[in-house]
């Protein structure tokens, strides 16, 4: 069952976020710090209390199996870009014990519906090159529209 997260879900949401953080630390230890301290835990509170952010969770048998954190942006026109409203997926995670069961797809479908209710016509996300989730995002219909490159000196 997918629903909007509540304060009672904070610890379970942060456990899922810790799994995401570990993936990032493993993939780019030169960028991401190990551990999951209080400041990272507190970040989820913004998503639970703001009208421009939400967390949706998938609950299976009383346990949070997955979560998705979203931002709703309204960017004004600038000299460089057109005004636009869009939904940004900040984090998504399916617990290790529940992967490959369609939960991430269901979370994405739920976010699509929520974004449409807000009048948005676009969902964006960013993903690190080391993350195998890229294949999932492409299967969900996401296409690359911007690329970041780096050079070691």
Positions in the chain whose pLDDT score sits under 70: none
pTM, full prediction = 0.92
> Can you tell me the distance from the alpha carbon of 33 to that of 135, in angstroms, rounded to the nearest whole number?
25
Would you say domain 2-139 falls under CATH 3.40.630.30? Answer: yes
DSSP strand pairing (84-94 vs 123-125): parallel
Instruction: Express as a percent the part of the chain with pLDDT over 70.
Output: 100
End-to-end CA distance of the chain: 48
Q: What pLDDT digit, counting tens, does each position of 75-112 carry?
A: 999 999 999 999 999 999 999 889 988 999 999 999 99
pLDDT computed for residue 61 by the predictor: 86
Q: Which of 91, 92, 89, 75 is nearest to 125 (CA)?
A: 89
Q: Where are the domains of the chain?
A: 2-139
pLDDT computed for residue 70 by the predictor: 97
């Amino acid at each position: 069952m997918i629903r909007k997260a509540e304060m009672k879900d904070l610890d379970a949401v942060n456990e899922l976020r810790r799994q995401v953080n570990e993936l990032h630390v493993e993939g780019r230890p030169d960028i991401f710090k190990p551990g999951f301290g209080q400041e990272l835990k507190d970040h989820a509170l913004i998503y639970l209390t703001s009208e421009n952010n939400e967390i949706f969770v998938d609950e299976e048998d009383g346990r949070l199996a997955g979560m998705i954190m979203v931002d709703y942006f309204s960017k004004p026109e600038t000299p460089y870009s057109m005004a636009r409203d869009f939904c940004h997926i900040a984090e998504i995670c399916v617990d290790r014990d529940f992967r490959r069961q369609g939960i991430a797809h269901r979370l994405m479908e739920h976010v699509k519906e929520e974004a449409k209710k807000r009048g948005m016509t676009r969902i964006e996300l960013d993903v690190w090159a080391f993350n195998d989730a890229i294949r999932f995002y492409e299967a969900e219909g996401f296409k690359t529209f911007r690329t970041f490159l780096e050079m070691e000196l």
